[in-house]
Amino acid sequence: MIYFSDSKAILQGEIQLPYSKSISNRLLMLQAQAMEKLEIKHLSSANDTQLLQKLIGLRQHTDGLLRLDAEDAGTVYRFMTAWLAIQEGQMSFLDGHPRMYERPVSALVEALQSLGADIRYTGKPGCPPLQIHGTALIGSRIKIHSDVSSQFISALCLIAPFLKNGLVIDIHDQQVSRSYISMTLNCLKEVGIKVEESNHLIKIWPSKINVTHYTIEADWSSASFFTSWPCCARVVRSNF
pLDDT tens across 109-126, in order? Answer: 999 999 999 999 999 999
Which pLDDT score is estimated for 173? 66
Percentage of the residues of the chain whose pLDDT score is greater than 90: 72
Which pLDDT score is estimated for 200? 85
Which pLDDT score is estimated for 120? 98
The mean-pLDDT minimum among 19-23, 141-145, 213-217 falls in: 141-145
Protein fold of 8-52+62-204+215-238: UDP-n-acetylglucosamine1-carboxyvinyl-transferase; Chain (3.65.10)
In sequence order, the 6+-apart residues with CB closer than 8 A to the CB of 23 are 44, 183, 187, 216, 217
For residue 210, name the pLDDT band (cuts at 50, 70, 90): very high
Asked if 161 and 188 count as a contact pair (C-beta separation under 8 A), the reply is yes
E strand residue ranges, 70-157: 91-95, 118-121, 130-133, 141-143
Residue extents of the structural domains in the chain: 8-52+62-204+215-238
Q: Which of 39, 82, 40, 84 is nearest to 62 (CA)?
A: 84
Which pLDDT score is estimated for 11? 56
Given a cut of 70, whether residue 16 has pLDDT beyond it is: no
CA distance 38 to 58: 18
pLDDT tens digits along 174-204 = 565 688 999 999 999 999 999 999 878 999 9
CA distance 157 to 162: 10
Given a cut of 60, whether residue 161 has pLDDT beyond it is: yes
For the chain, give the mean pLDDT.
Answer: 87
Looking at residue 157, its amino acid is C
pLDDT tens digits along 90-111 = 999 999 999 999 999 999 999 9
Given a cut of 80, whether residue 15 has pLDDT beyond it is: no
Which pLDDT score is estimated for 223? 46
The pTM score is: 0.85
In sequence order, the 6+-apart residues with CB closer than 8 A to the CB of 99 are 72
Rounded to an integer, the average pLDDT of 3-23 is 65
Which pLDDT score is estimated for 149? 86
Which pLDDT score is estimated for 145? 75
Given a cut of 50, whether residue 225 has pLDDT beyond it is: no
Which pLDDT score is estimated for 199? 79
Q: What does residue 190 show for φ and ψ, rounded to 5 degrees?
A: -70, -20
For residue 128, name the pLDDT band (cuts at 50, 70, 90): very high
Rounded to an integer, the average pLDDT of 140-146 is 84
Which pLDDT score is estimated for 226? 47
Given a cut of 60, whether residue 221 has pLDDT beyond it is: no
